[in-house]
Amino acid sequence: MQHTAQPYEERLTAPRSWWLISFLVGVSCALIVYPFGVLPMLGALVGGAAVAAVAASSYGAVRIRVVGGALIAGEAKLPVTALGESEVMDADEARAWRTHKADTRAFMLLRAYIPTALRVEVTDPQDPTPYLYLSTREPERLAQALRAARAAEAEAA
């Protein structure tokens, strides 16, 4: 039976409300420099909003990918052969694993504005990381992509 690993990619973008907040940061900056005149106020509006928007965009620029027999999650890159079982977590379970169930040795790609997550066991004996906690909007699809990539790697071996 031929397994074909479907590539998976997700960008953990910031929620839309953060863009409104970015604009409001610009308005706040403009109000702070209001006593200095209209031109500095416009500059502060544009500058403050731009800085806040860049911060929101960079925070939401992190990606999770399953490609080429590897899981790439933010700065972590692990071969799928070093990964074990995946646990799809709903909002309540994800919150528990972010807080009181969390292991300090775990790799946490955490975005609090994403309620669901996937916990992936790390089986490599050389790696002290017990599991990966990955905030994801599509935990079932990510788990399926990991299973398909592991099956494809096992078949190729």
Per-residue pLDDT of 36-66, as tens digits, reads 999 999 999 999 999 999 999 988 889 999 9
- 17-30 per-position pLDDT tens digit: 999 999 999 999 99
Q: Determine the Cα–Cα distance for residues 111 and 84; give it in Å rounded to an integer.
A: 23
Nearest Cα to Cα of residue 118 among 74, 88, 90: 88
Nearest Cα to Cα of residue 19 among 58, 59, 57: 57
Residues 6 or more apart in contact with residue 136 via CB below 8 angstroms: 10, 12, 64, 114, 116, 117, 118, 142
Q: ∠ CA 130-133-135 to the nearest 5 degrees?
A: 175
Say if residue 157's pLDDT is above 80.
no
Which pLDDT score is estimated for 46? Answer: 97
Task: Report residue 118 as tokens.
Answer: 């996937």
Task: Report residue 23 as tokens.
Answer: 């604009």
| 3-class secondary structure per residue, 98-110 | HCCCCCCCCEEEC
Q: Is 64 helix (H, G, I), strand (E, B) or coil?
A: strand
Q: ∠ CA 80-83-84 to the nearest 5 degrees?
A: 130
- 127-138 per-position pLDDT tens digit: 999 999 999 999
C-beta of residue 30 within 8 angstroms of C-beta of residue 4: no
Q: Is 76 helix (H, G, I), strand (E, B) or coil?
A: strand
